[in-house]
Amino acid sequence: MHSGPTLLVVLFSAIILIVFLIVKVRVHAFLALTAASFVVGIGSGMPLAQMASSYEKGVGGTLGFLATIIGLGGILGKMLEESGGAERIAQTLLSTLGKERASWAMMLVGFIAGIPVFFEVGFVLLIPLIYVVAKETRINLLYLGVPLAVSLMAVHCMLPPHPAAMAITGLLGADVGKVIVYGLIIALPTAIIAGPLWIKLVCKSEAPDTQEAFLDEHCVDSATRDLPGLGLTLLTILLPLLLMVGKSFAAGLPHDSGLFSIVSFLGTPLIALSIAVVFAYWALGLRRGLSMPDLLAHTQKSFPPLASILLIIGAGGAFNGILVDSGVGNALSGSLTQLNMNPIVLAWLVAGLMHFAVGSATVAMISAAGMVMPMLSAHPTVSKEIICIAIGAGAIGWTHVTDSAFWVVKEYLGVSLAEALKKFTSATVLASLIALGLTLLLSQFV
């Protein structure tokens, strides 16, 4: 093995390679992370057999925990999408809050409906409703779309069972229930401030002259369909969170009691999501007249989009494993410890820089967890759950031209590149800073 400074050069070379392959060469993140893993292994002097073993162990150890959970989460999100559950939540909030507070309604819709669905899916799913509201009220699309997008991004980065949040929770050995509670505490005020409050400051609510023509082209009046009830929809979304949080609260019960065993079992992420999927099949499917072949079709459609995420997370786990086994992680830990930087700020900064560079919040979070993890032993008093939230907070920011989420928002809102950068990218940077401040504040109490 090489000296500490040499190992750091190897690490930074690997990070530069990741950025170059993803941004310039347009290589898939899975292949970029795999290449970086081998660069770290070879550059650090690892024996080839050990390097291959570490890669396999990293992939298996990470996906062994996550593959089933991500699959179940995908089914849950697809059931919400196909049943119209997200549309039901949006319509209820809009009718309750009124069209004049539509930006607040869309922020809340994104926060609730975004729990089981991915960012792009949630935004595309809800954009027709934004078109209808904007056409009826002549409200600026940015005024509605940015709060929705920021809310979806905050939930995507900070709340399990989203894949990246779940992955770093497992990698850092944090408690899933606590991460959910802390994530809710941080994400909601973040979404409020960087969503409806921010857009009110930087954007006029009146629609520009060009918006009417855009809506005439994109707004299609869809036929009214039978939507599920609000109560059952909310229960379907929140059920796995309630079960997993319940397990954390049950820690105070006697560990030899039957109640503790039952609550702990039900709150295991695999079991909690399995129960939620079965409930979703009934509440959003069978109860509303769907057949088992219909449910099978929805289930099969939920899996293909997950393949890319699983491969990225698996390669991220391999990258982390080689960092540890090669000694690069310890060298990085020693260097970071000498900086005397708050580990929460450091975790946030690393995730933010990685997201800015590679344009993927998932890659940023997985990479940041691997780089921060070796340092945690030097800060035993810092909550692992808080570090998870700090990484998620960092990954929210700098959603710009390297991120597919940026282009989804820009194109569906029909705005210029400059407008998207000014209104949406700036909102994600603000959200990241607010989330960091709230995380630092929360760390004083947990």
pLDDT tens, N- to C-terminus, the chain (446 residues):
555 678 888 888 888 898 888 878 888 889 988 999 999 899 988 998 999 999 999 899 888 878 898 899 889 988 988 888 888 888 888 888 887 788 999 999 999 988 888 888 889 888 888 888 888 888 999 999 999 999 999 999 999 988 899 999 998 999 999 999 999 999 999 999 999 999 999 988 888 888 888 888 877 655 556 889 889 999 999 999 999 999 888 877 888 888 899 999 999 999 999 999 999 999 999 999 999 999 999 999 989 888 888 898 888 888 888 888 888 877 777 777 677 788 999 999 989 988 888 778 988 899 889 888 888 877 888 999 999 999 999 999 988 877 888 989 998 898 888 899 999 999 999 999 999 999 999 999 98
Phi/psi at 139 (5° precision): -90, 145
Which residues are CB-contacts of 9 (< 8 A; sequence separation ≥ 6)? 43
Output the CA torsion 364→370→374→379 (10° steps).
40
Residue 272 is predicted with a pLDDT of: 92
Q: How many CA atoms lie within 13 A of 12 on its CB side?
A: 9
Token representation of residue 252: 């105070």
H or E element at residue 48 = helix 48-83
Separation between Cα atoms, residue 221 and residue 129, nearest integer Å: 10
Contact partners, residue 12, CB within 8 Å, separation at least 6: none
User: Is cis: bond before 269, omega within 30 of 0?
Assistant: no
Residues in the chain: 446
Two tokens, residue 338: 């000498």
> Residue 103: CA atoms inside 13 Å, Cβ hemisphere, count?
24
Q: Is 349 exposed, middle or buried (0-12, 13-18, 19+ CB in 10 A)?
A: middle
The dihedral through the CA atoms of 113, 240, 270, 254 has a sign that is positive
Distance CA 246, CA 164 (A): 22
- Tokens 């450091």 belong to residue: 346
pTM over 0.85: yes
CA distance 403 to 398: 9
Q: Given this model, what pLDDT does residue 114 score? A: 87
At position 374, the amino acid (one-letter code) is P
Which residue, chain included where needed, has tokens 């009826």? 136
Residue whose token pair is 């819709």 = 109
Contact 302, 277 (CB under 8 A): no
Q: How far is CA 131 from CA 141, 147, 152, 265, in A?
A: 7, 14, 18, 44
DSSP state of 338: H
Rounded to whole angstroms, how far apart are CA atoms 240 and 277?
9
CB atoms within 10 A of CB 308: 13
Query: Residue 246 class from Cβ within 10 Å (0-12 exposed, 13-18 middle, 19+ buried)?
Result: middle
Instruction: Report the interhelical angle of 141-158 vs 119-137 (nearest 10°).
Output: 160
Q: Which two tokens stand for residue 59?
A: 């992939």
Run of H or E residues at 198: helix 198-202
Distance (Å, whole) CA 261 – CA 302 = 32
Can you tell me whether residue 206 is helix, strand or coil? strand
Cα separation, 201 vs 84, whole angstroms: 32
Q: What is the pLDDT of residue 280?
A: 94
| 206 strand-pairing partners | 139
Give me 335's structure tokens.
């260097």
Q: Which residues are CB-neighbours of 416 under 8 A, at least 6 positions away? A: none
- Rounded Cα distance between 96 and 160, Å, is 28
Q: What is the pLDDT of residue 2?
A: 57
Give dist(CA 88, CA 304) in Å, integer: 26
